[in-house]
Amino acid sequence: MADTESLKRISLSFDRGTLLLKGLEHKDLPSIPGLSAWKWDVRVGAWRCDAIHYPPVRAALNNEFISSFLDDVPQPVPVYWPKVELPELRPEQTYALAAWREAGCRGQIIMPTGTGKTEVALAAMSEARIATLVVAPVRDLMYQWHRRILAAFDYDAGIVGDNLYNIKPITVTTYDSAYIHMDKMGAGFGLLIFDEEHHLPGKCRREAAILSAAGMRLGLTATLERSDGLHIDLDWLIGPVVYRMPFEKAKGSTLADFDVVRIPVALNVSEQAAYDQCSRVIRQFITSRRKDLPNYTWQDLCKESGEDPQARHAQKAYYFKQSIENRAAEKLRVLDDIFRLHNGQQILVFAGSNAMAIEVSKQFLVPTILSHTRKRERLAVLEDFAEGLFTVLVANRVLDEGVDVPEAKVAVVIGGQASTRQAKQRLGRVLRRSGNARATLYEVVCENTKEVERSRKRRRSDAYERTLHRRV
């Protein structure tokens, strides 16, 4: 008797991001939700499905086969917070959190940058009291979460990413690391927090959500929509949108008022000469090609560059033109003016490239945050900037999203291709609430070049309403 009992035992285990179900016959499978999710895996002789289905599967198996069901999936550990230091939530933050709770702790909260998404997430963590993984787009943001968790719970969270692999009940990571490591850590967390969740639905990155068994999921973003439309998949990867605060509501209330000032600069004589020379190289090449192939495009040129040095020269000329725009000497002079004009105020400078950021830093002897800036220096620079010891901070693009830079009232964009989302996020940087002071965003662009076009594109975003034009 005992023997048949053990044979009939149904076991569920976690296998590298999937669930393995053993001891269940095919006819019994329909009693488990998501029948189509299960596949027979001949390699191991068991049923297999993605770990994301774990909560309903576990519930159904418990229901149907209570006595013979053995759940071998590792369970996330409960977390106890002896000391919680969170600011009281504002009304809209409270609504957001309540809506998420009501949706069964699965869902997305959409709030503009600077309206306290992180606080909502920290409040959710303090309520959930379960092992939690926070996924952020870049290292800077990952470290920022680390700091915020330290401040809120006095807890030194684990880090997966930036060449570290240190898993703790509360861990912070990046989307790329989550994709790589979720098959190993997918059963360890009960709550997943996806910061800037619009990064998740990418073809590969989504696996971070699929390979996890976590029952509670929270997605946060200011800008949900993706141009490829994949954001609709967040509904099943995370949960439905449970709260959405319109951008207009945020502006002027929780966010500071702001001006956008565009400053056109001209290339100097030698830059202009080099620029025109490059333009000529490209034009001549394309014209000569179009004699035979009237529909010859830039894509064709790129394709051809492998076989034809001429095409390669044209391609190189194009990139050189971009770098001339990015690094125009006149931009440095304009910066000089802006620094004088806003003396005593905190100023953020966004450069288009590492090279330009370093150039600015070397001329004005102001600190940079670049993608490879290490943790210690990053912390020191951000802290000294927050305290006003440094008045200027230069970044390439790493501060694009969500990184807290307290009390910067002036931002200068001197390069970089901005899309609508980037523009919004960048605006968010300077729109931090601090008294009644107005924020100003300067865009320094080369005249008569592609950059003007880009600036116009930036301003199509609903975030820019009035743009002042000013010559310095």
Q: Which residues contribute to the site for other proteins (CB under 8 A)?
A: 13, 15-18, 37, 39-45, 48-50, 183, 204, 207, 211, 305-309, 312, 315, 333, 336, 339-340, 343, 354, 358, 361-367, 370, 372-374, 376-377, 380-381, 384, 389-392
Chain-centre distance for alpha carbon 27: 44
Q: Helix H segments across 198-268? A: 207-210, 234-237, 247-250
Residue matched to tokens 């979720």: 182
CB-neighbour burial class of residue 17 (10 A; exposed 0-12, middle 13-18, buried 19+): buried
Measured from the CB atom, the residue of 30 and 45 that comes closer to other proteins is 45
* Per-residue tokens: 292: 């035979």
Least separation in angstroms between residue 227's CB and other proteins is 17
Amino acid found at 93: Q
Measured from the CB atom, the residue of 296 and 390 that comes closer to other proteins is 390
Least separation in angstroms between residue 72's CB and other proteins is 9
Measured from the CB atom, the residue of 153 and 385 that comes closer to other proteins is 385
φ and ψ at 13, to 5 degrees?
-135, 165
Closest CA to 153 of 60, 83, 219: 83
* Angle, in degrees to the nearest 10, between helices 139-153 and 117-128: 60
Least separation in angstroms between residue 203's CB and other proteins is 8
Least separation in angstroms between residue 392's CB and other proteins is 7
The 10 Å Cβ neighbour count of residue 379 is 15
Residue 278 and residue 456 in contact, taking contact as beta carbons nearer than 8 Å: no
Look up residue 113 and give its DSSP letter. T
Residue 194 and residue 217 in contact, taking contact as beta carbons nearer than 8 Å: yes
The residues with which 165 forms a beta bridge, in sequence order, are: 160
Least separation in angstroms between residue 239's CB and other proteins is 21
Least separation in angstroms between residue 115's CB and other proteins is 31
Measured from the CB atom, the residue of 42 and 269 that comes closer to other proteins is 42
Measured from the CB atom, the residue of 45 and 82 that comes closer to other proteins is 45
Measured from the CB atom, the residue of 130 and 394 that comes closer to other proteins is 394
Measured from the CB atom, the residue of 3 and 307 that comes closer to other proteins is 307
Least separation in angstroms between residue 134's CB and other proteins is 22
CB-neighbour burial class of residue 235 (10 A; exposed 0-12, middle 13-18, buried 19+): middle
